[in-house]
Amino acid sequence: MKEYRIIDLSLPIINGGGFARPAKMRYLDHRNRGGALAERLGIDPSEINYRANAMEEFSFLHTHAGTHFDAPYHSLETSQGKPTLTVDQIPLEWCFGPGIWLDLSHKKPGTDITAEDIERELKKIAYTISPEDIVLIKTGAADYYGRESCDNINAGMTREATLWLADKGVRLVGIDACCWDRPPKLQMDSLTKHQRRGRYMEGHRAAAERGMCILEWITNLDALPHYGFTVYAFPVKIERAGGSWVRAVAMVEEKQQFSVKSGL
Ligand SMILES: [Zn+2]
């Protein structure tokens, strides 16, 4: 019998936090939901046993809050003359598969992760990418998740690094940061600089051109071996959306046990 260890690759969706687009959650607990029900019925709240009322939550939630999935449609309306896929159209077969992770946490925030960086890290772990591998990038930004400006502290994948992975047959990638590219704010700051004009969200666009999907704000990569695990990351099915929340996990095979039945 095979034994597996599950590693949670997901960060929680939190109320507020230092994000560019923080989630707004309204928690109606058992007591205040009982009060709301009494108000609706026109009776005194004391007439309602609040403990018997189910609590619930309302949220105003960006589809890219917390650990989430970017479908190609997020970045491009069409590619090669065809409409790109929205998140509800992503084939489920694309959402799980053999995973590998690469440590790019030595790259400074706001800098480029290049194809050479990827090749160097692959050499360090003596791994050759196969088609359909799920490639996850560690920048270290997830350690600051929820803190002020945590959206602005990752190194980002360039167009050529993204295309390098696409050329190997990779169709799902991930990063432990808010953005596959350099942080949006830093990109905007450098839009006026001649050498970076036309490069806004170049990694996202390159992925979308090739039909690749992206996981953002994943975590816990350190808890995994660099390869030899399976990633599962199924996006919530939101009609016509470019992105949606995902519970991403990795499963690592621990050991193989052989049960021997006694014939006596
Ligand atoms: Zn996103």
pLDDT tens track for 29-88: 887 777 778 888 898 878 877 666 778 899 999 999 999 999 999 999 999 999 999 999
Per-residue confidence band for 262, with pLDDT thresholds at 50, 70 and 90: very low
Domains of the chain from N-terminus onward = 24-60 (no CATH), 68-255 (3.50.30.50)
Length of the chain: 264
**How far away, in angstroms, is 197 Cα from ligand 1 center?**
21
**How far away, in angstroms, is 55 Cα from ligand 1 center?**
30
Per-residue confidence band for 198, with pLDDT thresholds at 50, 70 and 90: confident
**How far away, in angstroms, is 129 Cα from ligand 1 center?**
24
* Nearest-5° Cα angle at 179, 238 to 139: 130
| Three-state secondary structure string covering 3-49 | EEEEEECECCCCEECCCCCCEEEEEECHHHHHHHHHHHHCCCHHHCC
Say what the pLDDT of residue 264 is: 39
**How far away, in angstroms, is 122 Cα from ligand 1 center?**
25
* Nearest-5° Cα angle at 219, 56 to 189: 95
**How far away, in angstroms, is 243 Cα from ligand 1 center?**
6
Q: For tokens 């014939």, what's the residue?
A: 263
pLDDT tens track for 206-254: 999 999 999 999 999 999 999 999 999 999 999 999 999 999 999 998 8
pLDDT tens track for 104-159: 999 999 999 999 999 999 999 999 999 999 999 999 999 999 999 899 999 999 99
**How far away, in angstroms, is 216 Cα from ligand 1 center?**
6
pTM more than 0.85: yes
